[in-house]
Structure 1
Amino acid sequence: MIETWVINDGSRASVSSEVVLEGLRLRIASGQLETWLISSSGRSLAFVTNTERAMVMLLEEEGDPGGHAVDPGSDGSSGGFVLSNGQHDEYPNQDTVPIGDAFRIVEHIVGTGSWPADARWVVDR
């Protein structure tokens, strides 16, 4: 069975790697900086951005701490990560990636089910 993904916003329409970025960009443009995608196999993919950097996390199942994309050479921290519950977060830049890289990672995971070979990430388990 091929894994399919949906944006967890009440829609049941699956998103492909060809259209997932359009969906993310539309949500960002409307002020929705946190997006969760749910797969048909029960995995979750989180994307939280401040429009310049993004936290990208992949969880295998509910309750799994999963893993997240990292930018090990990055110093400092960035704020402006607004969650859907209104919480404002700040993350070390090494725990987020530039938004272009984040888009590429999400597109690859939705298309293939795995992290891109050249993307750095850490397992949080």
Structure 2
Amino acid sequence: MVLVIETWVISDDIPAPVSSEVVRETLRLRIGSGRFETWLISSSGRSLAFVTNTERAMVMLLEEEGDPGEHAVEPGSDGSSDGFVLSNGQHDEYPDQDTVPIGEAFRLVEHIVGTGSWPADAHWVVDR
């Protein structure tokens, strides 16, 4: 049996594979340059979205284009946060329960890029 490893690239960047070992630093560099929305595309056609306001992040995993997907949540969080700036200039606000603290978001993205799935201890919901 041959194990096929899924590779990920950043959709609006040089199409070089991004590994789980460098994805956190890559996201930090993008945030530092004012790019708060990042889409990673896998070799199997899946998409991983990361949108942040630098304190919290929305992390979504989609199986294909048009898929409502799945997203990370923080159960029990109250309130909402704004300052999520999309690449088209749109400013969004999300309930805190539908986003996670930035450190957790980095961990989730690293794990998904490295293994193709959510960590066993992650909280996420299916939006399909």
Coarse TM-score class (shorter-chain normalised): over 0.9
Name the count of aligned residue pairs: 125
Within the alignment, does 1:8 sit opposite 2:8 as a pair? no
Within the alignment, does 1:124 sit opposite 2:97 as a pair? no
What is the TM-score when the length of structure 2 is the normalising length?
0.96
One-letter identity of the residue aligned with 1:56: V
Identity %: 86
Alignment of 1:34-49 (within 5 A): 34-49=37-52
Partner of 1:56: 59
Mark the runs of 5 or more structure 1 residues left unpaired by the alignment: none
Partner of 1:70: 73
Structure 1 position 10, deviation (Å): 3.6
Partner of 1:94: 97
Mark the runs of 5 or more structure 2 residues left unpaired by the alignment: none
Structure 1 position 2, deviation (Å): 1.1
Partner of 1:19: 22
Local SS of the residue matching 2:113: helix
Q: Counterparts of 2:105 and 2:26 in 1: how far apart (Å)?
A: 14
Q: Which runs of 4+ in 1 moved over 4 A?
A: none
What is the TM-score when the length of structure 1 is the normalising length?
0.99
Local SS of the residue matching 1:75: coil
Local SS of the residue matching 1:14: coil
One-letter identity of the residue aligned with 1:117: A
